[in-house]
C-alpha cells in the first residue's frame, strides 16, 4: 500500500512539474525584447480591435492571388490588380460595387493611376508588359514590352515619370504623357518594392533580394550610387519611407522582421519581429504609425516613439492571404485585399486609421 501511495505522489509531483514548465514557457513566449533590451507585449496580448473595420467590399468571381492597388480620390474609385484572376477591378467606393472588370491581362502585379493624364498603368508579371488604359473609357491606349516580370510600379508627380521594376534587374523609366519608354536603370537582380524621394538624395531606394541588398539610385543620373548589404536577414520585399526622419522601413521574410535603416548611413538602427509573409508596409506620418499586412492573416501596427525606437501596439486579424494593402492618408483609410483562399469570396476590408493610444 505504501508503495502504491508513493507512486501516486510521484505522479502528482511529476504532473505539477510539467504544469510549471508549461506555464513558464508560455509566459516567456508572451514577452519579447527589443534591441534596446526593453520588454514588449507578444502578439497574443496586443489590441486586436484598435482600428475599426468600416467597410467590406465584395469581389465576386475573383479567384487566386490579389496584388497591389491604387486609388482615384476625387473620383472615389479603387483599382485592384488581381494577379491570379488576370484582371483589374475598378470599384466605386461610394457604393462598394464593381464599375468594371478589365480582363484578359497577364498576371497584373503593379498598378498606378495618374490623375493628370487620366490613365491607368498596369504591370504584368507573366509577359513583362506595361499596359496603359484610359481611366474614363478603360480602353487600351498602349502596350510597352519589357523583358519579363513587370512588377512594382510608381508614379513620381514631381518628375512626372513612371517607374517599373522588371526582369532580372531593371527599373524602367516611362513618360506617361507620351506613353513611351525612356530608359532602364540597371540593377543586380529583380527589384521588389522601391521608394522614390524628392527630399532625400540620391532619391530612389530599391529592395533587391536576389543580390541580398538594397540599391540606392541617383534619380537624376539614373545610376546606382550605393548598395547596402542585408545584415542578419534575407528576402527583403516590402519597403516604406519616412523622409522627415531619414528612416527607411524594410521588411524581410527570412526571418519575418522589420528593419529600420538610417538613410544617411545605410545602417539599421532598430528591428522588430512582425507578421509572416508581409507584402505591403505603410508609414502614417501624421499618427507616427507603421502598418504591415501579411499573408499569415494579420495587420501589424507599430508605433514610432522616436526615429530609433519602435513598438508593436496592435495585431488585427484580417484574413488568410491578406498580404497586400493600400494606405490612403487623405481618407484615413487602409484597404486590405483578402483573396478567396479560405473558401469564401474575395473581398477588400477597409479599416479607419487613427492614433492608437
The whole-number pLDDT of residue 45 equals: 54
Name the band, by pLDDT with cuts 50, 70 and 90, for residue 15: very low
Least confident of 4-8, 203-207, 325-329: 4-8
The whole-number pLDDT of residue 18 equals: 37
Rounded mean pLDDT, 331-354? 97
Rounded mean pLDDT, 236-253? 98
Least confident of 102-111, 156-165, 199-208: 199-208
Write out pLDDT tens, residues 78-104: 999 999 999 999 999 999 999 999 999
201 and 307 housed in the same domain: no
Residue pair 273/32 in contact (Cβ under 8 Å)? The answer is yes
Picking from 198, 229, 260, the residue at the C-terminal end of a domain is: 229
Q: Could you tell me if residue 310 is inside a domain?
A: yes
Average pLDDT, whole number, for the chain? 89
Write out pLDDT tens, residues 19-32: 433 333 333 333 33
* pLDDT(41) > 70: no
* pLDDT(175) > 60: yes
Write out pLDDT tens, residues 258-273: 999 999 999 999 999 9
Q: Domain residues for 281?
A: 51-62+234-357
Counting every residue written for the chain, the total comes to 357
* pLDDT(189) > 50: yes
Q: Could you tell me if residue 91 is inside a domain?
A: no
109 and 204 housed in the same domain: yes
Name the band, by pLDDT with cuts 50, 70 and 90, for residue 38: very low
221 and 252 housed in the same domain: no
Q: Could you tell me if residue 254 is inside a domain?
A: yes
Residue 145: CATH number of its domain: 2.130.10.10
The whole-number pLDDT of residue 50 equals: 86
The whole-number pLDDT of residue 268 equals: 98
116 and 224 housed in the same domain: yes
Write out pLDDT tens, residues 278-315: 999 999 999 999 999 999 999 999 999 999 999 999 99
Rounded mean pLDDT, 167-195? 98
C-alpha cell at 213: 541588398
The arrangement of strands across the sheet holding 97-102 comes to 69-72, 77-82, 87-92, 97-102
Q: Could you tell me if residue 13 is inside a domain?
A: no
216 and 120 housed in the same domain: yes
Pairwise CA distance, residues 257 & 105, whole Å:
33
Exposure string for 158-197, b = 16+ CB within 10 A, e = fewer: eeebbbbbbbebbbbbbebeebebeebbebbbbbbbbbbb
The whole-number pLDDT of residue 49 equals: 62
Q: Could you tell me if residue 311 is inside a domain?
A: yes
Picking from 200, 229, 258, the residue at the C-terminal end of a domain is: 229
Q: What's this model's pTM, rounded to 2 decimal places?
A: 0.87
C-alpha distances (whole Å) from 271 to each of 259, 280, 302 are 4, 17, 11
Pairwise CA distance, residues 165 & 146, whole Å:
10
Q: Could you tell me if residue 195 is inside a domain?
A: yes
* Residues contacting 307, CB < 8 A, separation 6+: 242, 245, 246, 247, 269
3-state DSSP assignment of residue 287: coil
Task: List residues bridging with 240 in a β-sheet.
Answer: 249
284 and 178 housed in the same domain: no
CA angle centred on 336, ends 315 and 115, rounded to 5°: 135
Least confident of 6-15, 54-63, 143-152: 6-15
205 and 297 housed in the same domain: no
C-alpha distances (whole Å) from 331 to each of 73, 93, 200, 289, 335 are 8, 12, 26, 16, 11
Task: List residues bridging with 11 in a β-sheet.
Answer: none
110 and 148 housed in the same domain: yes
310 and 279 housed in the same domain: yes
221 and 290 housed in the same domain: no
The whole-number pLDDT of residue 293 equals: 98
Give residue for cell 536603370.
185
Write out pLDDT tens, residues 98-147: 999 999 999 999 999 999 999 999 999 999 999 999 999 999 999 999 99
Pairwise CA distance, residues 69 & 232, whole Å:
31
166 and 191 housed in the same domain: yes
C-alpha distances (whole Å) from 216 to each of 191, 194, 207, 308 are 12, 10, 9, 21
Pairwise CA distance, residues 253 & 62, whole Å:
27
Number of domains in the chain: 2
- CA 166 to chain centroid, in Å, comes to 18
Q: Could you tell me if residue 162 is inside a domain?
A: yes
Handedness of CA 263, 265, 266, 267 (dihedral sign): negative
Pairwise CA distance, residues 105 & 82, whole Å:
9
**What phi and psi, each to the nearest 5 degrees, are found at residue 140?**
-75, 125
* pLDDT(34) > 60: no
253 and 144 housed in the same domain: no
Q: Could you tell me if residue 27 is inside a domain?
A: no
Name the band, by pLDDT with cuts 50, 70 and 90, for residue 14: very low
Picking from 213, 229, 245, the residue at the C-terminal end of a domain is: 229
* pLDDT(8) > 60: no
Amino acid at each position: 500500500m505504501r508503495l502504491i501511495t508513493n507512486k501516486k505522489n510521484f505522479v502528482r509531483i511529476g504532473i505539477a512539474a510539467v504544469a510549471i514548465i508549461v506555464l513558464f514557457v508560455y509566459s516567456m513566449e508572451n514577452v519579447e525584447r527589443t534591441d534596446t533590451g526593453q520588454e514588449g507585449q507578444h502578439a497574443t496580448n496586443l489590441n486586436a480591435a484598435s482600428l475599426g473595420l468600416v467597410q467590406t467590399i465584395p469581389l465576386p468571381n475573383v479567384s487566386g492571388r490579389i496584388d497591389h492597388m491604387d486609388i482615384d480620390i476625387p473620383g472615389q474609385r479603387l483599382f485592384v490588380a488581381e494577379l491570379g484572376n488576370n484582371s483589374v477591378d475598378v470599384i466605386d467606393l461610394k457604393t462598394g460595387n464593381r464599375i468594371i472588370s478589365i480582363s484578359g491581362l497577364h498576371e497584373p502585379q503593379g498598378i498606378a493611376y495618374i490623375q493628370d493624364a487620366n490613365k491607368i498603368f498596369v504591370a504584368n508579371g507573366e509577359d513583362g508588359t506595361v499596359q496603359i488604359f484610359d481611366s474614363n473609357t478603360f480602353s487600351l491606349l498602349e502596350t510597352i514590352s519589357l523583358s519579363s516580370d513587370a512588377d512594382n510600379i510608381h508614379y513620381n508627380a514631381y518628375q512626372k515619370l513612371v517607374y517599373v521594376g522588371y526582369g532580372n534587374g531593371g527599373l524602367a523609366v516611362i513618360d506617361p504623357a507620351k506613353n513611351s519608354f525612356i530608359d532602364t536603370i540597371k540593377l543586380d537582380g529583380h527589384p521588389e518594392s522601391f521608394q522614390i524621394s524628392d527630399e532625400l538624395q540620391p532619391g530612389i531606394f530599391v529592395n533587391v533580394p536576389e543580390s541580398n541588398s538594397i540599391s540606392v539610385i541617383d534619380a537624376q543620373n539614373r545610376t546606382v550610387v550605393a548598395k547596402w548589404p542585408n545584415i542578419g536577414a534575407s528576402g527583403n520585399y516590402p519597403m516604406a519611407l519616412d523622409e522627415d526622419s531619414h528612416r527607411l522601413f524594410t521588411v524581410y521574410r527570412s526571418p519575418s522582421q522589420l528593419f529600420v535603416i538610417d538613410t544617411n548611413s545605410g545602417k539599421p538602427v532598430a528591428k522588430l519581429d512582425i507578421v509572416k509573409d508581409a507584402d505591403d508596409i505603410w508609414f502614417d506620418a501624421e499618427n507616427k504609425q507603421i502598418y504591415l499586412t501579411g499573408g499569415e492573416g494579420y495587420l501589424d501596427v507599430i508605433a514610432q516613439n522616436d526615429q530609433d525606437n519602435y513598438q508593436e501596439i496592435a495585431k488585427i486579424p484580417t484574413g488568410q492571404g491578406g498580404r497586400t494593402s493600400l494606405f490612403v492618408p487623405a481618407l484615413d483609410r487602409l484597404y486590405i485585399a483578402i483573396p478567396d483562399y479560405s473558401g469564401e469570396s474575395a473581398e477588400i476590408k477597409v479599416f479607419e486609421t487613427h492614433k492608437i493610444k
